[in-house]
Amino acid sequence: MEDPTDIQNFCTNYGFYQEYAVNQQLQEMNKQQEEMNVHAAHYAGQLSRGKIKLNDLETGSEVDEVPFLSLAPFELLRNNPRRRKNTEGVKVRDVNGGANVHQKLSATQIMRLAGERFIQFSSNKFININNLLHPYGSSFSDLSPEDNQDVELAQILLAAAEKVSDQQYDRARKFLSQCQLLASNTGNPVQRAVFYFAQALGERIDRETGKLMPKICTETDELNSICVASRFHASYVALHQEVPFSQIVHFTGIQAILESVATKPKVHLIDFLIRTGVQWASLIQAAAERKDNPIEHMKITVIESVNKERVIETGKNQLTEDHFDIKPDEGVVIHAAFFLRAMICVPNCLETAMRVVRRLQPSLMVVSEVEANLNSPLFVNRFIDSLFYYSALFDCLEDVMKRDDQHRMTLEVSYGGGIRNIVGNEGEERVIRSVNLDVWRSFFRKFGMEEVKLSNTCLYQANLIIQQFACRSSCSVDVNGGSFMVSWKGTPIYSTSAWKFH
């Protein structure tokens, strides 16, 4: 009988495991796209359910209807109201003249507006730089001059990505040269995001044309990329003090763990990737102050640390349940924050870890992850998803840090490294990977786990944390099924979920 948890049998349209995601349907789609040279199809996706008609951008001739995979990147723009909110900006009254003027659009709103207009434009006209500059004339009049320029810059970036996906590298370089003139790593969020994405596209071209030799990554490279936080410690602390993302994740997890062991006198907490572990001081304090059913004994087992040498050493060993020394009278809880995504590029290790978790039979497993699908086997899907996600991060830094802040510059260089790996690499070289909550749901269910609804107390605590920050109007916690999503201006950044075995 086929094992439902066999890693080779688990495959989604999101490309959870690239090695097994390119199925017959995907291969057939790619073949049709190559034969018909339908460049705009990469971005247009399913403008309506089923099939669509497009114009060939190079010849202007109409092509036959072409089937596409569902959930194409820009379908989000049309079918997801929450992600589309405030796309056109918020109008406010000018205190001097009384006329309505637009507030500055966020970087993600700019990217989505550019994407929508790129779809409209590319399905009717031949793409070149001159056409991309002011292609709609008066339709841009409702934007501020800066937003107008940002939309145009984002369109040029999309055109470059589309040419890269079609291996038209000379055309792509022309668009990238224009991006380099207009983008800047010291400008506004859109200019900064385009700066790093253009870099990544340039590296991809160099790799695919043989100018940049591939570097084979080891199994611990993704873990080491997570450990980069130790080198940028001061900058991440500065961000931590301005934005409540990590606090929400940690304290929501602590509350869920406390509730799951409410009647347990002895608790064994297993922490995958502990980093500093400072959050567990709050858990210990809360457990000590519990009047009903006080916790008599708490044990914490650490699987990883941010120490590079220890991470590498741990990576050499095979994880088994014998490492944990579980006692029969202990209530076992597992906390995995941004750990499982590190093993997406090494699926055998991920499978081993989940089989061990299943044998431990925890009362609860709390999982926090990046809420973005940055692992699609289709380059253009992955490019669009990462563009939206990182644009939200660049926008966040714009709101909480000055443009010349060294912490901000350090953080953005770190983001740029992730962008280059996601966009510029394939196969074993691409070690920065993440999938969204729906994919994790399917994955955990394969191992016999069910989602546990996070309580109203968890939600209250999360919102209480947000209220302590100046950026509270931009950060939100949204309920998704039984789980939470931490968002920046409507764009999901992190998710926190809780799981138990049937």
Give the CA dihedral 256, 259, 263, 268, nearest 10 degrees: 20
pLDDT tens sequence across 418-431: 999 999 999 888 98
* Higher pLDDT pick, 235 / 38: 235
Give the CA dihedral 337, 366, 479, 394, nearest 10 degrees: 0
Alpha helices in 361-485 (DSSP H): 379-400, 406-424, 437-446, 456-466
First to last CA, the chain: 21
Is 60 exceeded by the pLDDT of residue 416? Answer: yes
Is 70 exceeded by the pLDDT of residue 312? Answer: no
> Does residue 483 sit in helix, strand or coil?
strand
Strands 297-302 and 66-67: unpaired
Going by pLDDT thresholds of 50, 70 and 90, the confidence category of residue 214 is: low
pLDDT tens sequence across 378-400: 999 999 999 999 999 999 999 99
With tokens 């431990």, the residue in question is: 360
- The DSSP call for residue 300 is E
Is 80 exceeded by the pLDDT of residue 206? Answer: yes
**Mean pLDDT computed over 252-280:** 84
Q: What percent of the chain has pLDDT over 70?
A: 67
**Mean pLDDT computed over 147-156:** 94
> Does residue 492 sit in helix, strand or coil?
strand
Query: Would you state the pLDDT for residue 296?
Result: 83
C-alpha dihedral sign at 208, 212, 214, 218: negative
Is 70 exceeded by the pLDDT of residue 110? Answer: yes
d(CA 356, CA 295): 26
CATH number for region 244-372+434-501 = 3.40.50
Going by pLDDT thresholds of 50, 70 and 90, the confidence category of residue 34 is: very low
Is 70 exceeded by the pLDDT of residue 449? Answer: yes
pLDDT tens sequence across 470-501: 999 999 999 999 999 999 999 999 999 999 99
Q: What is the CB-side half-sphere exposure of residue 413 using CA atoms within 13 A?
A: 12
d(CA 254, CA 458): 9
Neighbours of 330 (CB within 10 A): 20
Q: What percent of the chain has pLDDT over 90?
A: 46
Query: Would you state the pLDDT for residue 69?
Result: 25
* Higher pLDDT pick, 150 / 75: 150
Predicted structure pTM score: 0.77
Query: Would you state the pLDDT for residue 244?
Result: 96
Is 60 exceeded by the pLDDT of residue 128? Answer: no
Phi, psi of 339 (to 5 degrees): -105, -45
* Higher pLDDT pick, 207 / 142: 207
CATH 3.40.50 maps onto the chain at 244-372+434-501
d(CA 266, CA 272): 20
Neighbours of 409 (CB within 10 A): 17
Q: What is the CB-side half-sphere exposure of residue 481 using CA atoms within 13 A?
A: 13
Query: Would you state the pLDDT for residue 52?
Result: 24
d(CA 500, CA 442): 14
